[in-house]
Structure formats: C-alpha cells, structure tokens
Amino acid sequence: MKKFLVILFVVSMFSLFFAQQLPPGIPRNETFIADNLTGRAANPGNFNIWATWVWNDRGIQNLLLEPLWCVEYATGEIINALAAEPPKYNSDFTELTIKLRKGVYWSDGVPFTADDLIYTIELVKNTPGMGYNSQMQQVKEIVKVDDYTVVIKLNAPNSRFHTYFLDRWGALRPLPKHIFEKVEDPLTFDFNPPVGTGPYVLKGYDPGGYWTLWERREDWDRTPTGMLYGMPQPKYVLFITYGGPEKQVLAMAQHQLDAADLTLEALKAVLSRVKTARAWRRNFPWTVNIDPCVTGLHFNTAKEPFNNPEVRWALTLAIDIVEYAANAFDGAVTLSPIHIPLTTAYYNWYFTKLEDWLKNFELDLGNGEKFKPYDPTAGFRLAEYAKKRGYPVPDNPELIKRIFGPGWWKYAPDVAAKLLEKNGFYRDKDGKWHLPNGELWKITITTGTNPAHPGYRNAFAAAQAWKKFGIDVTVQTTDAAATLDQRGEFEVSTDWPAAEPWGGHPDLFRTLEPFHSKYIRPIGENAPWGNYARWSNPEMDKIIDEIQQTTWGDTKKLIELGVEGLKLLVKEMPTIPTFNYPGVIAWDEYYWTNYPGAENMYAQPYHHWPNFKYMLPFLKPTGRK
Amino acid sequence: MNFVRRYLLPRLITYFLVIWVGITMIFFIPRFLPTDPVQQFINRLVAQGTYMDPKAIEEMTETLKELYGLKGSLWEQYINFWKRFLKGDFGPSYYQFPTPVIILIKQSLPWTAWLLLVTTLLSWIIGNILGGLAGYFSNRRWVKILDGIAMVIRPMPYYILALGLLILLAYIIPIFPIGGGFAIGMQFTFSWENLLILLKHAFLPALSLILIGVFIWFQAMKLVVQSVKSEDYVKYAKMGGIEEKRIVRRYVIRNAMLPQITGLALSLGQIFGGALITEIVFSYPGIGTLLYNAIFTGDYNLLMGVSTLSILLITTSILLIDLLYPLFDPRVRYR
C-alpha cells in the first residue's frame, strides 16, 4: 500500500510538471485562443441566447451563429450574411422583404430556410422574456413567399425595422426551428448542444464557466462565412477567462493566449515582454481608433446652470484637450470634436463634410464679440505631446489627422470666462468661480468604478481641467452610475455623449433619435439610452423625423440630414465628445499572423465581436508547433 | 425538561429571530440601493451595441419588472418572497435570466465548498498544532523561526501573496495552471486522471489560503497557550510531576482550544460567502464571484439566494457549537 502511494505521488507530480495546456488531439498550432471579454459564464451549459443575453461573446455570437446582416465598421460596409441582399421596404415602410442566402445549412445538416426566420420572429413575439420580444410586437404578419423570401408586414411604418436583425454586438439572429419547435419552454431551454449556421460547433465547455472550446465544421462551406470568405484557418477556437489583466499578461507571455482585450498598462507590459505580440497599431498610440463609440461628458440640462448652452460651451473651452488626453490615456487616443467617432467611414461621410463649417463656426460672446472655437491643430498638438514623451509619431499630416484626430476645441479659458461673466457668474479674489446667485460653483462628476474604463478616465481628466479653471469639482465614483444617469440624478456624467451610430452605415437615426423631445423625461424617471442629458430641440425633432422618412438606401440624403443633426449638437453642446473609445487589444503572432491591424484593415479587430468569424479565414498559421 | 426550557428554547428562539432579521435585511437593503436590476440589464444590452429604440426600451422595462417580480409595493414583494422562500424557491436570476438562482448556486457552490472546507480544516488543524506547541515551548529555536515566518506572511495582503504564488509557480516555474478549476478542453467525468487535474488546479488557491490561514490560527493559538500555561492549575500539574506531554495535550491545548473551536465554527459558516479574492486571482469557479456579480448587477434574487443560505449556515453552525459547547468546556453546564 505504501509503495502504491509513493508511485501514485510520483506519477501525479510527473503529470503536474509535464501536463499539456491543451488536451491530446487539440494541437496548439491549430487552435486560436482568445480571452472572454465578459468573463466567467455563470451558467456555462446554457447556449440559449434568445432567452438570455450574457456571455454570447464566448463563441456563441462570434462562431456559432450568423445574423441576417452584420456591420463591418472597419470597412464601413454591411455584410449580407444569412440574407442574400440588403433589406427592401415598400414606399410607406410598412412591408419589409428579406431575401435569404441559398445553400446554408444548420450544423446538424438541416437546411436553413425562410421557415426558420418566420418561426424565430413568431416565437420571440409570443414569448415575453425573450430578447426582442417588445420589438417584434411591431410585426402584424409574416408572409412566406418561397423558401428563401420573407415579407414582414408591420403594424405601423418603420424604416429601420431591419436593424433589429443587423448584428453589431447583438441582433435577433435566426434560431433553428426544427430544434425549438420541440421545446416545451423556450425560456428555460438550455440549447445544449447548440446548433448554428456559423462555421464552428461546440467541442466542450468548462463546468466552472472559464472556457468554451469550438471546432470548425466539416461543412464550413455551407455557412455564410465559408461562402463569403473561405475556410476559417484555426481548426479550434478556445475562449477563455484567465482573469484580470495581470493574468492575461502572464498567459500571453507563455503564448497561451492569442488575443486579449487589455488595459493600456497591461498592453504596454505585453508589448515589452512578448516579442511576438502586437497591438492594433504597431506603434504609439497602439489603441484601436476605429471603434464605433465616442467617449465624453454629459451635462444634465434639466439642472441649472447646465441648462444654459453658454455655460456648457464655457466648460468645453476650459479644457486643454492635449493635457486632458495626456491625463486620461497618456495621449493614446483619437480626438473627436463631433458626436460620432472618427472611423475611416465616418471620416469620409461626416468629418470631411463638416470641416469647413467647424472652422467657421462662431460663438457669440456678447457686445458684438465673436469667437471661432474650433482648433484644427489639436490633433497635431497631441502628436507633438506624444513626440515629447518619446513615442514615434509619423510626419505625414494626413496620417496624424487620422491617428490623433482632425481637431478639437480651443483651450480658451479667457473666452470661457467671458461667456460665464456674460451670464452673471463671477470670480472671487482666489480665482474661484461663483454662480450668479453668489454661491461657490461646485460640480460633481458622476462615473463608474472601473479605473480602466474611458468613462472613469474622462471624469478625472475633466475634473482636473475644470479645477485648474477655478471650479470646485469632485468626482463621485459609483457602481450605480448608469442608474443615476438614467434617472437624471447627476450634474455631469461620463457616459457616451450620444448613442453609438451603426459604424458601418451613414445612417445616424440610432444616434440622434434618443434626443427626440417625445422621449424627454423629468428628473427621477428613466431617460432612454443616449439622452441622459435630457436635452431636446424642435429643430432636432424635425431632423430625426425626416431621417425616419428616408430610406436606408438613400445614403446621400441620410448624410445631409446627419450633418445637420451633428451641427445642432455642436451649437448646443449638451454633451461633450472627447475622443474615440480607445480599444486596447493585443495579439500574439507566435502561432497566427495577418491580423487586421491599422495597416491592414480588412476587418474589425475584436475577437468578441460577431464578425470575428469573418476575420478567421484571413489568419495565417506561422507553422510553430 | 430544564434543559429544553432554560437552554435549548432561548437559543432556538434567538436562532429563528436572527434568521428572520437577517433575511429581512437582505431583502430590503438591495431595494434601497440606487442600482436598478432592470436598468442594469437593459444597459448591458444597449451598451454593447444591441439596437433598442427608446420606445422598445420603455416597453421592455415594463416586461422585465413583471418577469422579475418587481411590480407591486415592497410589502407585496416581501410577502411573495417568503411564500417562495418557504418552498425553497429563490426565483430566477436577473443577470442570468431566466435561470433559477438555485441552479447557479448549485453550479458554483461545490467548487467553493470543497476548496474552502479542505483549506479551512487543514489550516485550522496545522495552525493549532503548531501554535499550541509553539505557545508551550516558546523558547525553542524552531518557534522563533516560525514566528519570523508568521511575521512576514501574516501581515502580507492576501492578494499580493496569492499573486506572488501565481507568478512564481505558474509563470516563472510553470508547474501549475494560470487559472481555472479544470483542464481546458477535457471532459468533466470521474476518473483518477481527472481527479489529479482537479487537484492540480486547486493546488495554488489552496496553498494561498492555507499559508495565510495556518499563520492566523498559529498566532492566535500561541497567544492563548502562553496565557493558559501560566495558569495555576498548569503550574500545579507540573509541580505534581505529571508528564509534560500529558500537560500539553490534556491541560493546556484542550483548554486553549475553546476559542479556536468557536472560531472554526464561524469560519465554516463563512464558507458559503466564498473566497472572492482567491476566486478572482486564480480564476477559480465558486460562489464568491457569483455573489460579486449579483451585487454589481443588482441581482436581488441571486443576492438573496446566496446570502440566505449563508445566514442559515452561519446561524446553524453557531447554534450547533452553542449546543455542543458543554461537551468541550466543563465549565459550561446547563442546570
């Protein structure tokens, strides 16, 4: 017995030393390992994302399922995935015709047809608690024209109904009718093993929720991904939660993680320690600057003095954006003076069209004095800061504009003072600003508790800028920031300054609609996402209504209307856009190369986005074992 | 009969009162927090890009309130909660809707329970034995060495110790995995090989807990023993020529054990709360991260599920210790 125990101990120690990270039959060089952005799955055996939302980024949305359409913000296009062509509406937007791609099969060998789409919509519509249940109430009737054509009739005109099926980081994706129709309760159904139209199938998952392993389908060519882009290169894809950034750095250093979403500090650690690692941009500022979100500050325009646009402008001009960006992200950001992010597509659609207007835009300082606040050199000043910090910065002005931003607002504290004095504010002998009623001006900025998040960093950078200007500012960090924002129980907050646009289409309906006056709610009631500032304007209402009457295909008119909406937001400045969401992503090129970096922007760069499956066919194995 | 009336009954009344007050508090406290679970859910939906127009958000808010059981007055919700609770139902989790809370707990609890049970017992046993001996033989050299180690490890922030172990044994000398509870890509079935894999994944988190735990018990026990050994009855026993081993075992350690037994009962009761930092540092599956997420997302039902079971376990273990105490301490007697 004693001998047996000794042998058992030796064998176990041996296995401890030599155990492989991946099990036999799953070669590391045929496996792509990515971190799971949303972390450990609490219910890892559940793949029914139609009933639950969380953890769909562990391969469910990005490998297993295909949407009808998918936004590709790197190229600015909309990919027809399960749909064969763009959506078609009738003239009054009460009917939507969807043509489906032929030859697509579910992973269990059943063909994908119109019946699946019709069943999905009907099931979701009739099951409260399923995602998109409330949106699908707009459906009056669904007509099956043939196996690959569906006409959806709506209760009321809606020119954007198809966007519920348009994948960005979530959409109503068709589910397999032949599986769900046998299910008694679709809400509690686990959908395990899952069946999909995407190029991978489930190979295994961790009962503790830390990893999910996928295997490429033998018939990958019967999926939209295969048909559009060819065979995904990795035979296996593993999504894993190693834990915090320090664990991800350790895993990357051991080549146990190919792609990770990190903090800027962790990225710097990876780049300095792992010779084969890279970021989206190979040099400073490294960060992804084509993310379709712009970060910034919200004023609560339902509260004094933030109900006054001149006060909001004064606070904008009290910010030295270079110092601000340096404080927030060591300058590794792309500035955006307007309420949409500077992606390549938006640069062409909007920034170029607004540039002259921005240069000529004037503020009225009173007594006939005017001031042009736009600073087209802001991006260059930020580049100069980076150079001083010792980072390599290109000389090409066009490239500098694209990397650091085309411009921002001038740092003009003297002009800000004039605007405030015009409105009765005054400074005391210590340089502190007082409200018109004589009280010391105190501002509280509300933000979340994650120090790595741009919202958090915007809050502290703004506090520093406004303190320097002479305002007494405090930052309130709270896990309840989102709820407080929605209820309007804040003065200034750091949520997105406007709802995210699509990223891959010039339509700004999604960005502007929350500002419609019909959605304005008093303080204490939940405001719709995108308008915590509780700002509205009749002119904006008109623009939104007109966009709603414009077909998704009329991009020229959509851009014209979008430009007008953005101008109005600049004039009123209910929220301050500061810089693009700086996506901090690292890749290890030890096993795989040809990632879609800034120099090779064929796809969006995140592994957690649904379009990850469209990136995989382009990866190249290095041949390292 | 005297035992029931004067000893058992008051303790049982207190036991049920504490449970009722505790559960009532964890029902009301989250509801007074500014975090709104419905809004948190919708925020997560839209923040990552799911398209919901403002009208749809308003409609969904109403649907979710209905489904989450958050409609009606607080009193109505409270009554409904007790009705469900008495049937052993904590309702659905909000942040993993519509999965029942009890399933989430069932999935996470075994990981935490076995890790913490083993480490708590091991560190208690080792710490008390070492502490007991060190307290009695306090002038020996090995005691001074142990004291030195305790002085270094005991005040060390747990997070730093855990991370240090991880860097040392998973990165510099890569013997153990960086994280997780089970090997990647393996099937979770019972076999000796899988048991070894489980042990391998649990080793670092367990080591970190045992290291800290041992020295906490060690220092406490040593202090108590040092105090006990100067008691008159110990001196008297020595003078009476009783064998030293017997004095240590029967006279000193046995008496010094009393506060340690109470401490163990409390530690065992707290197992249900999970070891949050351990689970985060070692990405070890368990109830700690589940509870953290429940707080973070305003998942009242999950919060109540975990906390209620935690309250039940702690109060029950205290009750049991209270009832069993007379067996350990002859000075405690019910008349």
Task: Say which residue the tokens 């700086």 belong to.
Answer: A582
Buried b (16+ CB within 10 A) or exposed e, A576-595: bbbbbbbbbbbbbbbbbeeb
Residues of B in contact with A40 (CB under 8 A): 283, 285, 289
B62, pLDDT greater than 80: no
Check CB contact of B240 with chain A, cutoff 8 Å: no
Among residues A610, B17, A506, A410, the alpha carbon closest in space to that of B9 is found at: B17
Contact A91, A109 (CB under 8 A): no
Average pLDDT over residues B282-297: 84
CA-to-CA dists, residue A279 to A246, A292, A537, angstroms: 17, 18, 42
Task: Say which residue the tokens 């799953």 belong to.
Answer: A26
More reliable by pLDDT, B236 or A575: A575
Task: Write out the H or E segment, with its range, that includes residue B126.
Answer: helix B101-136
A348, pLDDT greater than 60: yes
ipTM above 0.95, yes or no: no
Annotation: CATH topology of B109-286: MetI-like fold (1.10.3720)
In chain A, the largest separation of any two C-alpha atoms, in whole Å, equals 99
Could you give the CA distance from residue A269 to residue A234 in angstroms, rounded to a whole number?
A: 27
Burial of A110 (C-beta count, 10 Å sphere; 0-12/13-18/19+): middle
What pLDDT was estimated at residue A2? 58
Average pLDDT over residues A324-343: 93
pLDDT in tens, B221-279: 888 888 888 888 888 888 888 888 888 888 888 788 878 887 887 777 667 666 788 88
Chain A residue with the nearest C-alpha to that of B171: A250
Top residue of B48, B66, B207, B292 to mutate, by most chain A CBs within 10 Å, is: B48
Check CB contact of A155 with chain B, cutoff 8 Å: no
Segment among A375-384, A421-430, A588-597, B19-28 with least mean pLDDT: B19-28
Residues of A in contact with B173 (CB under 8 A): none
Residues in chain B: 335
Which residues in chain A (495-524) have CB-CB distances under 8 A to chain B? 499-500, 510, 513-514, 516, 519
More reliable by pLDDT, A175 or A448: A175
pLDDT in tens, A390-419: 998 988 999 999 899 989 999 999 999 999
Q: Can you tell me whether residue A587 is helix, strand or coil?
A: strand
Break chain B into its structural domains and give their ranges: 109-286
pLDDT in tens, A105-136: 999 999 999 999 999 999 999 998 888 888 89
Check CB contact of B41 with chain A, cutoff 8 Å: yes
Q: Where are the beta strands (DSSP E) in chain B?
A: none
Q: Where are the beta strands (DSSP E) in A25-110?
A: 31-35, 69-72, 77-80, 88-89, 95-99
- Indicate the average pLDDT of chain A: 92
Chain A residue with the nearest C-alpha to that of B284: A208
Check CB contact of B182 with chain A, cutoff 8 Å: yes
Which residues in chain A (157-186) have CB-CB distances under 8 A to chain B? 160, 163-164, 166, 168-171
Helix ranges (H only) for A49-142 are 114-126
What pLDDT was estimated at residue A8? 47
Residues of A in contact with B178 (CB under 8 A): 242-243, 247, 250-251, 254, 256
CA-to-CA dists, residue B14 to A236, B20, B322, B327, angstroms: 57, 10, 12, 21
CA-to-CA dists, residue B33 to A409, A477, A479, B57, angstroms: 38, 15, 10, 22
A10, pLDDT greater than 70: no
Which residues in chain A (93-152) have CB-CB distances under 8 A to chain B? 128-129, 131, 133-135, 137
Burial of A30 (C-beta count, 10 Å sphere; 0-12/13-18/19+): middle
Which residues in chain B (255-284) have CB-CB distances under 8 A to chain A? 280-284
A5, pLDDT greater than 60: no
- Contact assignment for A247 to B33 by CB distance below 8 Å: no
Could you give the CA distance from residue A31 to residue A28 in angstroms, rounded to a whole number?
A: 5
CA distance A1 to chain B (A): 17
pLDDT category, B95, cuts 50, 70, 90?
confident
Check CB contact of A90 with chain B, cutoff 8 Å: no
Helices (H) and strands (E) in chain B, counts: 15, 0
Residues of A in contact with B281 (CB under 8 A): 243
- Contact assignment for A208 to B182 by CB distance below 8 Å: yes
Could you give the CA distance from residue A245 to residue A232 in angstroms, rounded to a whole number?
A: 28
Average pLDDT over residues B18-30: 88
pTM above 0.90, yes or no: no
Which DSSP letter does residue A498 get? S
- Contact assignment for B182 to A206 by CB distance below 8 Å: yes
Check CB contact of A18 with chain B, cutoff 8 Å: no
Contact A328, A297 (CB under 8 A): no
Could you give the CA distance from residue A593 to residue A542 in angstroms, rounded to a whole number?
A: 49
Six-digit token string for B167? 């860097």
Average pLDDT over residues A469-495: 92
More reliable by pLDDT, B223 or A445: A445
Could you give the CA distance from residue A591 to residue A611 in angstroms, rounded to a whole number?
A: 21
B20, pLDDT greater than 80: yes
More reliable by pLDDT, B2 or A328: A328
What would you report as the CA-atom Rg of chain A, rounded to the nearest whole angstrom? 26
Nearest to B49 among A169, A247, A514 (CB): A169
A76: left (phi over 0), alpha (psi -120 to 50) or beta: left
